[in-house]
Copies of this chain bind each other. A is one copy, B any other.
Amino acid sequence: MEDATGGALRADARRNRERLLVAAHAVFSERGADASLNDVAKRAEVGIGTLYRHFESREALLAATCDEQLLTLAKQSRERSEALPPLEALRVFLAELVHSAGMYKGLAASLGIVLKNHTKGCDATTAEGQRLLETAQRAGEVRGDILLDDVVCMAMAISLAAAEDGADPKRVPRLTGMFFDGLRSRPEPRGARHR
Contacts and interface: CB of A to CB of B under 8 A. Distances in A.
Contacts of A154: 157-158, 161, 175, 178-179
The CB with the most chain B CB atoms within 10 A, among A154, A157, A190, A193, is that of A157
A interface SS class: helix
Give this chain's copy count.
2
A173 interface: yes
Interface stretch (A4-12, A61-69, A76-84, A140-148): A140-148
A146 to B, nearest CB: 7
A176 interface: yes
B182 A188 contact: no
Given A153-B171, A161-B154, A190-B187, A178 B147 contact: no
B149 A156 contact: no
Contacts of A176: 195
Interface residues of A, number: 42
Contacts of A191: 187, 195
Given A149-B168, A161-B112, A179 B182 contact: yes
Given A109-B160, A154-B158, A178-B183, 11 more contacts: A146-B178, A147-B168, A150-B178, A153-B175, A156-B157, A157-B158, A177-B194, A177-B195, A182-B182, A189-B195, A192-B195
